[in-house]
Amino acid sequence: MAYNFHPYYLNKHLNMNFGRFFLRVYAIWQFITRFFREVLLPPYEYKEIINQFFQVGIRSLSIITLTGFITGVVFTKQSRSSLAEFGAASWLPSLIAIALIRALAPLVTALIIAGKVGSNIGAELGSMKVTEQIDAMEVSSTNPFKFLVASRILATTAIVPVLAIYMGFVGLMGAYMNVHHNEQTSFTSFFQSAFMKITFLDVWVLLLKSAVYGFTIGVAGCFNGYNADQGTVGVGRAANTAVVVSMFLIFIEEMIIVQLVNYFKHG
Amino acid sequence: MANSMAKTISTPIDRSRPVISIRGLKKGFGNMQVLKGVDLDVYHGENLVVLGRSGSGKSVLIKIMAGLLKPDAGTVSVLGRDIARLNTKELQALRTRIGFSFQNSALYDGMDVRANLEFPLVRNKRHLSHSQIDAAIAKVLDDVGLSQTLYQMPSELSGGQRKRIGIARTLILQPEIMLYDEPTAGLDPVTSVEINDLINEVQERYHTSSVIITHDLTCAKATGDRLVMLSEGQFLRQGSFEEVFDTDDPKVKNFYNYNFIAGS
Ligand SMILES: Nc1ncnc2c1ncn2[C@@H]1O[C@H](COP(=O)(O)OP(=O)(O)OP(=O)(O)O)[C@@H](O)[C@H]1O
Ligand SMILES: [Mg+2]
């Protein structure tokens, strides 16, 4: 037991992990550059790309609708009392719109897609890897990286922004129903005041950062699945790592993007 | 029992025409040397069996032949082309002439049998019409005796059926070389014999040259025209079944005894 605390072993342990960590970062970097190379160079797997767009989009639609609606309703309910304290209950629609468009919609969408689609990609590619289906594709003269990886990363990158916009809309609908029920605000006046504080920049940032999250989810799922090993254990681990890593990175990216946007806005 | 199952089909073998030619092949992973200098010729029309214990590098060898793994040293020439020197396009073109039957069958589990068989066809022969594709699928399914499974999913098939569909999926491109990785592993003896027969039928009907990787001596005897034995990264012996096992070398003797005593 005691040897664990000896500086020599501690040092050795750290060195090993640092070495492995940097090897992994390098491997991921290679994976990402390969993605851009394969995406840009023909032949293009149109059919499979379209197929993945539908897989990612359609299969997530119901859960995004549900969570978006609930987010809108709950956030409205929870904010009302504090705004009312300052006599600012009429600010409710624009507060909710800002919260949804700037933060909640992209973040919640990305986390849900990471859990649902990211784990699915990790498990699917992982099991294809360990059962030699990826090798089989390769000997069928099909580039498995293009067919499986590039199409999935493209799909998550393109679809998460669409779903995030959709969640923003559904969330506002939830908020409207709650506000209408309590304050009898009309549909037009709700949305007029909701969009008063929303700028084009906000929408662009939402699209851009959701695309970054989607790319992260796709890369994390594909990298872990494509490099899975050690049989069925490896498949489970690939799915799990894909989710944990992408959720972690999404929060880091959120923080960086918020800083950058503030910097550009206010100099 | 095993001795009565010697190979009966014999096709002309042309020893002047190697279809695969390997010289000084070395391959390792990290610190572990798996293949330590292997020389091998596979002749036109023959079924060559590569025997070896689990972990001896048989799968590594066959994957190098298909260009799935790169050799560390040595040359591998397949159908006259040096595999290490091919670019992606050339390698893809060469692969359409090679069939690979995987150890786990490797059927795409997201697709039904028909889509599995269609996959290599539509991706390599884009000019085919629907009726030509249907005809090709019907023919290979009939050749492996599984016409009734057309719309079944891989998860609904037995191990032996999956092996057959895996073989059918490679036959659909009418390959000149067939590579079988452990065709009978995990199958019961009766199903194994059926797969052995199928391997011989493929040799006869499609005029393929085949490499059969196995540790199953019944399979080796039933399908092999010639055997080589891989041990510790090198070939120990080669020749006909009788020639390989007519020896006092304890490694070879052990392999034989365990197979027939423990296995029957
Ligand atoms: N991609 C790889 N990365 C690292 N090591 C590998 C890889 N492929 C094979 N090996 C190692 O090479 C050795 C030989 O493996 P191989 O799969 O060729 O054995 P085999 O003879 O086919 O055995 P089996 O009968 O169990 O299939 C094993 O020790 C294996 O761990
Ligand atoms: Mg093997």
Q: Is the pLDDT of residue A182 over 70?
A: yes
Q: What mean pLDDT comes out for the span B243-254? A: 76
Q: What mean pLDDT comes out for the span B83-93? A: 90
Instruction: Report pLDDT for A74.
Output: 95
B74, two tokens? 């040595």
Query: Rounded distance, CA B250 to CA B231, Å?
Result: 12
Average pLDDT value over all residues in chain B: 88
Q: Any bridge partners for residue B32, and if so which?
A: B29
What pTM, to 2 d.p., does this model score? 0.88
Under 8 Å between Cβ of A68 and A166: yes
pLDDT-derived band at A21, boundaries 50, 70, 90: confident
pLDDT-derived band at B260, boundaries 50, 70, 90: low
- Check if B184 has its Cβ closer than 6 Å to any atom of ligand 1: no
Exposure string of A150-177, with b = 16+ CB inside 10 Å and e = fewer, is bbbbbbbbbbbbbbbbbbbbbbbbbbbe
B186-195 confidence digits (pLDDT tens): 899 999 999 9
Instruction: Report pLDDT for B77.
Output: 95
* Residue written as token pair 């989009």: A57
B132-168 confidence digits (pLDDT tens): 999 999 999 999 999 999 999 999 999 999 999 999 9
Query: Rounded distance, CA A240 to CA A38, Å?
Result: 26
Alpha-carbon gap: A134 to the closest alpha carbon of chain B (Å):
8
B200, two tokens? 């011989």
Instruction: Report pLDDT for A14.
Output: 58
pLDDT-derived band at A15, boundaries 50, 70, 90: low
Chain A residues with CB inside 8 Å of B98's CB? 139
Q: What mean pLDDT comes out for the span B119-125? A: 91
Q: Is the pLDDT of residue A1 over 50?
A: no
pLDDT-derived band at A166, boundaries 50, 70, 90: very high
pLDDT-derived band at B2, boundaries 50, 70, 90: very low
Kindly determine whether residue B104 and residue A127, on different chains, have CB atoms separated by under 8 Å. no
A86-104 confidence digits (pLDDT tens): 888 888 999 999 999 999 9
Q: Select from B66, B104, B108 the Cβ nearest to the Cβ of A139.
A: B66
DSSP B109: T
Q: What mean pLDDT comes out for the span B33-37? A: 92
The residues, ordered by sequence, that sit 6+ positions from B58 with a Cβ below 8 Å of its Cβ are B50, B52, B181, B182, B213, B214, B215, B230
B257, two tokens? 């005894």
Q: Which of B58, B60, B101, B235 to mutate to test the pocket of ligand 1 (most atoms within 8 A of CB)?
A: B60
Under 8 Å between Cβ of B28 and B34: yes
Instruction: Report pLDDT for A3.
Output: 45
Q: Give the environment of ion ligand 2: residues with CB less than 5 A.
A: B 59
Q: What percent of chain B has pLDDT over 90?
A: 69
Q: Is the pLDDT of residue A2 over 50?
A: no
Domain range list for chain A: 42-266
Alpha-carbon gap: B101 to the closest alpha carbon of chain A (Å):
9
pLDDT-derived band at B4, boundaries 50, 70, 90: very low
Q: What percent of chain B has pLDDT over 70?
A: 93
Kindly determine whether residue A142 and residue B102, on different chains, have CB atoms separated by under 8 Å. no
